[in-house]
A and B are shown apart, each in its own frame.
Chain A
Amino acid sequence: MQRIKNIILILGVFTLGSCQLTEVDTVSDITNEQYWSTQGDVESYLFGIYNKMRNEQNSTFRFEDRGDSFVPGLESGLSSAWNQNLSPQNAPDWLGYYNLIHHCNLLLTYGAQMEFQVEQEKNQILAETYFIRAFSYFNLIRTWGEVPIELEPTESASEEQLARAPKSEVMTQILADIENALALFPGDGLVTKSRASKSATYALKADVLLWKSKVLDGGEEDLLAVITNANAASEGLSLESDFSQIYDSENKNGSEVIFSLHFEVDEKSDHYARNLKPRDIFVQDAVNFEALPYARSGARSNYMPSPKLIAAFDEHTTDTRRDASIIEAIAQDGSVIGIFDNKMRGTVVAENREYDSDIIVYRLAEMILFKAEALAALNRPAEAIVELNKIRNRAKIGDYTGPSDKNTVELEILKERYREFYLELKRWPDLLRFHFGGTVNVYSEVPNLVGTTVPLYFPIPVVQIDRNPNLEQTEGYE
């Protein structure tokens, strides 16, 4: 009997002491209740956000494919955006942007409550986060138009199912974040050009206001503000004298760059520019094989620069941007095997080429052309031409000599942007701005849009409406 009592005692002790036994440590990852306790948590989180932002930006899908810069490459593999056959069935998901926004919301909620030894360091981080959130919503509004405005982090399954907010509200939100960022940046806010700064925020604001004035019926006031913001963003910068220097791997974050997303192969692979590059075997019999930015693996010629783009370059035989932007593979008999991107050539490492160009978000040339665009829209073409010529002269094509009426100058600015920013994720929003601004008809500019009525904003996936019945499909689809 005593023995039984002993056993029961042992079992009893085991039982009573057991509650602790079901608790374990989490070592290599952090749980919600542990995070947001030190300054380092906030700093690391910001880098995480940049990592995510780079992922989102590393694609031609939203801002190039629907434009007129690409034709099918050697291997084909064309996106639904390029084909202009977007439908609710194959619609792109905005999950990536909202994931980025969730991270911003989380940092803005919890990071703001943290104590920092130096208050300015916290403000710097918050300002950068406001910039990224504004930038994300700006990408959303340019892609889908009306979008839900999520300003709180997602912390449970029972979040409110938000409807798509009118464009004007989204625009107001973007501008509010920009103002928050500008107010919080200490000094010029420049830590490195690979992170957002006050200059980058001015650049974004100029971009946003141009969109507002041309696409969302903003006023003259906005256009004037574009000029002041573009000027503010330009401070301390100078144009590269040689256009090919801008994307040279040896000259990352050069004198012209305002803000770029850092790219290096060990951190991030599959640069979007690889989709316009040849695999070695496709061009192995080219006479200029060695000059081509081929790679053994990691390259795929899904697209080629379009004849329309090449024609724009070829308008001026002296244009230095042509060879710095595109390259042809020439066969023995002089015929062209294929045409490839030559702007983002990457770096040769261990006998293979890695595409590692930074994704430049804003650079000085764009500020100059923003000004030109705003001035032209304000019907001040003469001043616009002055700005335009700065870009033309750097490209060695001389001053603009054509007609100086508003519309022609605006057309010329659009074309200049075409040549200057090819593959820099600007073309589709450019076409939309000048379309809504009345300069061109995008349905005749883009070959795949000719004769169609595909809406200019993107659809959302049907399944998203299933999951959140408060969402409505983008106008014009179904």
Chain B
Amino acid sequence: MKLLIKLNQRLRNIHLLPLLLCTVATVYGQNETTITGTVYGETGTMPLPGVNITVEGKSIGTSSDFDGNYSIRVASSDVLVFSYIGFKEIRKTVGESTVIDVTMLLDAEELEDVVLIGYGKQSRSTVTSALSNLDEVEMQKAPGANPLLQLQGKVAGVSLQIQDGQPGSNPQIFIRGGSSTSPEGDTPLFIVDGIVGGMRNISDLNPDDIKSVQVLKDAASTAIYGARAANGIIIVETKSGSAGKTQVNLRLTTGFDAMQKKLPLLNARDYVYLSRKNTAQFNTTNPDFFLTGGRFGMSTGNPRDSKNTLEFLDVYLQDYGQDYVADLINNQGWETMVDPITGKKLIFQNNNFQDATFQLGQRTEIDFDISGGGDKVNYYFGLGYLNQDGIVRGTNYKNYSLLYKGNFKLSDSWTLNAKASLSIRDANAPNNYEWVLARSVLLPPTYRKYYENGLPAPGEGISSFRNRLHEIHYKTKYNDLNVYRTTFQLGGVWDIMPGLTFSPSAYYFSTEGVENYFEAYNETVTNRPASARHNLDRHLQFDGLLNYDLSFNNKHFFNTVLGTSYNHDYSYRMSGSGREALTDHIPTLNATSEETQRVSTTINYDAMLSFFGRVNYHYDHRYMLSISARYDGSSRFAKNNKWGFFPGVSAGWNIHRENFFSPLSEVVSNLKLRGSWGKTGNNSLSIFDSRGRYSTGYMYDGNVGILNTTLINDDLIWEETASFDIGMDLGLFDNRVNLLVDFYNKETSERLFDKPLWSSTGFSAIKSNYGTISNKGIEIELNATVIDNENFSWDLGATFAYNKGIVEELPENGEDKNRIGGNFIYDPTTGGTIKVGGIAEGERFGGRWAFNYLGVYQTDEQAASAPNDLNASGRTKYAGDAIFEDRNNDGVLDNRDMIFMGYIRPSKTGGIVNHFKYKSLSLRIVTDWAVGHVIDNGFKARVMGSARNNNNAYKESLTDTWQYEGDDAIYPKYSVQSDYDYNFRNHNRWDYQIGNASGGANNSLYYSKGDFLAFREVSLSYQFPKRVMDDLNLSGLELYVGVYNIGYLTRYDGLMPELYTGRDYGTYPRPRQVNLGAKVSF
């Protein structure tokens, strides 16, 4: 308290300083009069302090005081120049007047250069930290649901990992390599219109309402958000109204989404041929089990209208008659062929389950907004509707959004701002991605899609995965999943005195999910399971912000922010389930049998209190200094460790404003050097990590059981990330070329990490603070106006980022480099073994090792000399099996024989945006790329290894798998007996803790580089000329068309190379999207 008062007194004293200086400046001069006056801001009523007033051609000047008043001694012939950052320069000839009042007008061009920083805005020219922004142009024509995707390739240092192509789904996003070795924990902090961290993602935000997206990358800019800012910050600002004529925009977009690429699966004829021939050739123990009895796709023994269609033609003719068979062949798409084993004729239907799973998705989007205002009030009102199908059948995404923002000027000193928004999402995603995307598509093509009565058939006949059409008909179509998001904000700005404002704000943000699931009676699931969930998350936030702007002598500019913030989160979960209803008519729980009903609710709280402050100073726009600090207390830590302190400091030098630089200014119009250091925190832990947890849910014999599930660690403290950044902003040729370059070094210490425990403790891990990792990198953003003629222009934007993540320090554990995890491999340089993998000091993380595939054994004799393959569990190897390199020649194939394949995350990423304009026509071409990662195509390995004995195969299996002695095949033999379960292990191998623990092949045969160049967007828009508009009484009309996610240039042979998890187990790929739209403005 005392300190604050003292500080305040200081500030009061400081403001006398400029007056004194002014006096000094006006002592000399001849034939002069004293001019006085007041400078006002745009409204004409608010005095504007700190305005520079200079005399043209002379070295005298002053600046306006706190009440906007100034006084200066000049000659009558002098010209006064009034200037202020963000406002247009005003020139007044003195003449006879002794009082000159001026009203400064906002300079739109200068304003564009104002960027959002934490709790405030700042002119780009004096910013000293590393940040990038994306304006509404990038958002306006976004094809579909998630605005985050628009960041890809356009912001250096932001890496997006696309998890799936489900509309609205969230990419995993890391800024500057994240701060942990587990990407899930690396999500940056989202701040949407001031709400800090309430939203874990912004997927449901209508891109059309977004004004700008700002990415804060270095700790000097994020330190003001202290805790949780370690992974960078993304600030989103939505549109607001501005004074002027009422503006109405209507935008209509339609389009469709399609798969970029299809899996190269066999048709029924080739599948039957290959799987039956190979069963006879390679399965000598029980071929009949696979070939008869209707058990598998390649089995005969399927009567009329059963799930599978394969049968001998003579059986069909005998049992169902000539006419029936003729109808099948002529009208129902059935085919016949000669059985490669018996020579008898087979009959079957050819069905494509890839087509049964994927579709062409339709998309419709309508956006409508009105904005406007006057002196006292301005408003923005936006309505949005989006209906987008996924490319997986039965999936879609609907979103209704409403946004209202208003500003009210209550009096000279009080302004009120209010925001209310509502969005309703109704989305249906695949219930289980693996079943739908990695299994349903692989159903053998001999299975039926539809029964004779027209109803969908299940495929193989199990409930987990099946014919997607069957699943939709009996299950997916009953899904009813709605999410309601509401935001209310009420804030005020109190202009206490010129330059000093106090802004209190209150925020309420809630997400409510209501989900209902039901499965109707069908042959695979007979008990009509129903379930429901009700989730409520509520975020309350109160901010108080004191802002003080001060400048004197036209040279010293201060901006001081002092604030406090309180965040409170509440989450409520209710779930219920039941089954054995007697009707399909009621999909809700009330129809289920009472004794099967179960219900559960949980409640959780989280709170954080923060105090923060920042001082930005610059001297004459030349020397900049910024200091900030934040003090955060989180409920997640134990009593003595709640509080964390996060300071940040940055400085900059606008060299181009120096006098000595003027000879160069013809070429170099802007040159700024920046440097920053700061510390941020991370509290990604549960309250129970610091207090221990006892959980229910351990029923026994009908009784409620409770167990201690989380080990207490009350020594936990904040994880800290200290980062250091040096950057340069360079503008050439009157800023036609702009270059931003940043080098950074980010070091995260006291990491909150699950420290592995030895098993006899009864726990596998305990949340602990340990170890240090670092991320170093370079980021470059280039923007250039290559051509700028009256009719034609070409703007080019390019980004480049390189990041290297290294583990710096781990707790002493007796191992070399204090390695945690990992395993031994053979080291050819010493002939011994070395330990690799896991995490170790001085090493990059995310390395992967695999068995080195060398080819195929051509004869049984050759195979007999194979090393003992532990994966194959003692199984004898025969001709057609894979040769894996026994690197240490010890006669045993184990982890020691694995070789390094690469790292799972790319080290270099970037993008290029080209924007061409010819008269009213504009063309955008966007590409982005990533290099340096590898992908283990586990999905392909499972297909080639027939992981389920009963799945379709790739075309390569027909042509490139081993068939006979001397066959120089790419792949080992194809057998319908699961390569995995029957211990052949030619395709899928153990991971030995240094490969992919799940979903990968761990076989070099299926590894490839993930490097890609993505053709992200080609779009064309046409703005109707003004005279046409005037005739139509419109203020604008724009038509546009675009294609997004056009394709990749890559060596990776899976569906999508944007995978940074090391393995591909079957993804929901990003669709190719076509967009058509029109925007009308009134």
Binding site for B on A (CB under 8 A): 3-5, 7-8, 10-12, 14-15, 18-19, 21-35, 41, 44-52, 54, 74-78, 80, 83-85, 87, 89-90, 93-95, 98-103, 106, 147-148, 150, 153-157, 159, 161-162, 192, 194-195, 262, 266-267, 279-282, 284-285, 296-297, 331, 337, 349-352, 462-464, 466-469, 471
**Interface members, chain B 528-558 (any A CB < 8 Å):** 544, 546
**B604 A28 Cβ-Cβ under 8 A:** yes
The smallest beta-carbon distance between A408 and chain B, in angstroms, is 34
**B757 A281 Cβ-Cβ under 8 A:** no
Known: A22-B634, A262-B700, A467-B759. 11 other contacts (CB 8 A): A26-B691, A27-B602, A28-B601, A29-B602, A47-B704, A76-B982, A94-B759, A95-B762, A148-B760, A282-B295, A464-B759
Determine the chain B residues whose CB is within 8 A of the CB of A194 once the complex forms. 700-701
Which 10 residue pairs spanning A and B have beta carbons closest together? A102-B762, A32-B692, A47-B705, A48-B705, A468-B758, A28-B602, A350-B527, A31-B691, A24-B605, A48-B707
**B461 A296 Cβ-Cβ under 8 A:** yes
B845 within 8 A of A: no
The CA-CA distance from A100 to B761 in the complex, in Å, is 10
The smallest beta-carbon distance between A284 and chain B, in angstroms, is 6
**B642 A22 Cβ-Cβ under 8 A:** yes
The smallest beta-carbon distance between A21 and chain B, in angstroms, is 5
The smallest beta-carbon distance between A29 and chain B, in angstroms, is 5
The smallest beta-carbon distance between B220 and chain A, in angstroms, is 25
The CA-CA distance from A5 to B2 in the complex, in Å, is 11
B85 within 8 A of A: no
Determine the chain B residues whose CB is within 8 A of the CB of A462 once the complex forms. 823
Determine the chain B residues whose CB is within 8 A of the CB of A32 once the complex forms. 691-694, 708, 712
**B699 A267 Cβ-Cβ under 8 A:** yes
Q: Which of B461, B500, B703 contacts A47 (CB 8 A)?
A: B703
B44 within 8 A of A: no
Determine the chain B residues whose CB is within 8 A of the CB of A279 once the complex forms. 462
The CA-CA distance from A422 to B237 in the complex, in Å, is 69
The CA-CA distance from A350 to B606 in the complex, in Å, is 43
Determine the chain A residues whose CB is within 8 A of the CB of B695 once the complex forms. 29-30
The CA-CA distance from A35 to B756 in the complex, in Å, is 25
Contact status of A49 and B707, CB under 8 A, knowing A22-B635, A74-B289, A94-B760: yes
Determine the chain B residues whose CB is within 8 A of the CB of A102 once the complex forms. 708, 761-763
The smallest beta-carbon distance between B599 and chain A, in angstroms, is 13
Contact status of A51 and B874, CB under 8 A, knowing A23-B607, A155-B711, A266-B598: no
The smallest beta-carbon distance between A336 and chain B, in angstroms, is 11
B698 within 8 A of A: yes
B231 within 8 A of A: no
Q: Which of A8, A27, A90, A195 contacts B5 (CB 8 A)?
A: A8
Binding site for A on B (CB under 8 A): 1, 4-5, 8, 289, 292-295, 301, 460-464, 496, 500, 502, 524, 526-527, 544, 546, 562, 564, 566, 568, 579-580, 596, 598, 601-609, 611, 633-635, 642, 687-688, 691-696, 698-708, 711-713, 755-764, 766, 768, 813-815, 821, 823, 870, 873-874, 894-895, 949, 977-978, 981-983, 990, 992-993
The smallest beta-carbon distance between A468 and chain B, in angstroms, is 4
Chain A, residue nearest B12 (CB): A1
Q: Which of B496, B564, B706, B821 contacts A4 (CB 8 A)?
A: B496
**B546 A29 Cβ-Cβ under 8 A:** no
Q: Which of A8, A54, A463, A471 contacts B8 (CB 8 A)?
A: A8
Determine the chain B residues whose CB is within 8 A of the CB of A45 once the complex forms. 705-707
**A11 B564 Cβ-Cβ under 8 A:** yes
**A50 B294 Cβ-Cβ under 8 A:** no
Chain A, residue nearest B527 (CB): A350
Determine the chain A residues whose CB is within 8 A of the CB of B496 once the complex forms. 3-4, 7
Determine the chain B residues whose CB is within 8 A of the CB of A466 once the complex forms. 813, 815, 821
Determine the chain B residues whose CB is within 8 A of the CB of A99 once the complex forms. 762-763
**B633 A18 Cβ-Cβ under 8 A:** yes
**A150 B698 Cβ-Cβ under 8 A:** no
Chain B, residue nearest A461 (CB): B759
**A351 B604 Cβ-Cβ under 8 A:** no
Contact status of A85 and B874, CB under 8 A, knowing A47-B701, A194-B701, A351-B527: yes
Chain A, residue nearest B980 (CB): A77
Determine the chain A residues whose CB is within 8 A of the CB of B568 once the complex forms. 24
The CA-CA distance from A102 to B609 in the complex, in Å, is 37
**A15 B608 Cβ-Cβ under 8 A:** no
Chain B, residue nearest A13 (CB): B1
Contact status of A463 and B993, CB under 8 A, knowing A27-B604, A103-B707: yes
Contact status of A29 and B693, CB under 8 A, knowing A47-B698, A83-B874, A463-B993: yes
**B463 A297 Cβ-Cβ under 8 A:** yes
The smallest beta-carbon distance between A473 and chain B, in angstroms, is 14
**A280 B461 Cβ-Cβ under 8 A:** yes
The smallest beta-carbon distance between B399 and chain A, in angstroms, is 31
The CA-CA distance from A21 to B609 in the complex, in Å, is 7
Please name 9 pairs of A and B residues whose Cβ atoms are closer than 8 Å in the assembled complex, sorted by A: A21-B633, A31-B688, A35-B708, A47-B706, A54-B700, A74-B289, A95-B764, A192-B701, A281-B294
Chain B, residue nearest A99 (CB): B762
**A26 B544 Cβ-Cβ under 8 A:** no
Chain B, residue nearest A3 (CB): B496
Contact status of A262 and B761, CB under 8 A, knowing A31-B688, A85-B873, A296-B462: no
The smallest beta-carbon distance between B588 and chain A, in angstroms, is 18
Contact status of A31 and B609, CB under 8 A, knowing A148-B760, A266-B596: no
The CA-CA distance from A468 to B687 in the complex, in Å, is 28
The smallest beta-carbon distance between A58 and chain B, in angstroms, is 13
The CA-CA distance from A106 to B706 in the complex, in Å, is 12
Determine the chain B residues whose CB is within 8 A of the CB of A31 once the complex forms. 687-688, 691-694, 712
The CA-CA distance from A15 to B500 in the complex, in Å, is 21
Determine the chain B residues whose CB is within 8 A of the CB of A24 once the complex forms. 568, 605-607, 635, 687
Determine the chain A residues whose CB is within 8 A of the CB of B694 once the complex forms. 29-32, 34-35
The CA-CA distance from A262 to B703 in the complex, in Å, is 11
**A8 B1 Cβ-Cβ under 8 A:** yes
Determine the chain A residues whose CB is within 8 A of the CB of B762 once the complex forms. 95, 98-103, 150, 154
**A285 B294 Cβ-Cβ under 8 A:** yes
The smallest beta-carbon distance between A105 and chain B, in angstroms, is 8
Contact status of A350 and B766, CB under 8 A, knowing A14-B564, A29-B695: no
The CA-CA distance from A3 to B414 in the complex, in Å, is 13
The CA-CA distance from A458 to B673 in the complex, in Å, is 64
The smallest beta-carbon distance between A39 and chain B, in angstroms, is 13
Q: Which of A14, A44, A162 contacts B760 (CB 8 A)?
A: A162
Chain A, residue nearest B605 (CB): A24
Determine the chain A residues whose CB is within 8 A of the CB of B894 once the complex forms. 87, 89
The CA-CA distance from A50 to B703 in the complex, in Å, is 10
Chain A, residue nearest B577 (CB): A266
**B609 A18 Cβ-Cβ under 8 A:** yes
The smallest beta-carbon distance between B632 and chain A, in angstroms, is 9
The smallest beta-carbon distance between B987 and chain A, in angstroms, is 15
**A49 B705 Cβ-Cβ under 8 A:** yes
The smallest beta-carbon distance between A38 and chain B, in angstroms, is 12
Contact status of A50 and B993, CB under 8 A, knowing A83-B873, A471-B758: no
